[in-house]
């Protein structure tokens, strides 16, 4: 009887933790949805920035990117460990990652040529 209660308790705790993780992912989705002005202050020499439009489509998070010589449509983010990430090709493969840290949406771009660079995201007001 006691081992059955321990098993039931462990199952309930596991379900609660799972629900908390699902809600955290949903919360990140709601916070990143919309248009963002993105700059990459670590890029040497040039002033490089773009607009990223993030939305939900068919239960997935997709995005479009527009900027100088940049027009990417319907790319899909994957969710893992409270972060969104996607790989895009812009002359080389670049891994974009977006997350929330202390209430602020942050990002990074990982490239083979320039390494890891931080993204500064500013929400575009409607």
CATH number of the domain that residue 117 is part of: 2.40.128
The pLDDT mean for the chain works out to 82
**0.85 exceeded by the pTM?**
no
Q: What SS3 state is found at 57?
A: strand
Q: What's the rounded Cα separation, in Å, for the pair 120 and 105?
A: 9
What confidence category does residue 24 fall into, taking pLDDT thresholds of 50, 70 and 90? very low
What does DSSP assign to residue 33?
A: -
DSSP state of 58: T
Domain around 76: 2-123
Q: pLDDT for 56-94, tens place per residue?
A: 999 999 999 998 888 999 999 999 999 999 999 988 999
Q: What is the pLDDT of residue 20?
A: 40
pLDDT for residue 46? 67
Q: Which residues of 69-107 are buried (b: 16+ CB within 10 A; e: fewer)?
A: eeebeebebeeeeebbbbeeeeeeebebbbbbeeeebeb
Q: How many domains does the chain have?
A: 1
């Amino acid at each position: 009887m006691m081992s059955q209660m321990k098993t039931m308790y462990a199952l309930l705790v596991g379900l609660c933790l799972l629900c908390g993780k699902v809600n955290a992912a949903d919360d990140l989705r709601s916070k990143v949805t919309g248009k963002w002005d993105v700059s990459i202050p670590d890029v040497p020499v040039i002033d490089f920035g773009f607009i990223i439009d993030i939305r939900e489509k068919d239960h997935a998070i997709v995005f479009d990117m527009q900027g100088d010589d940049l027009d990417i449509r319907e790319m899909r983010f994957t969710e893992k460990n409270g972060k969104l990430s996607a790989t895009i090709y812009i002359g080389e493969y670049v891994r974009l990652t977006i997350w929330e840290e202390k209430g602020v949406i942050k990002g990074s771009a990982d490239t083979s040529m320039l390494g890891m660079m931080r993204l500064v995201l500013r929400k575009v007001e409607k």
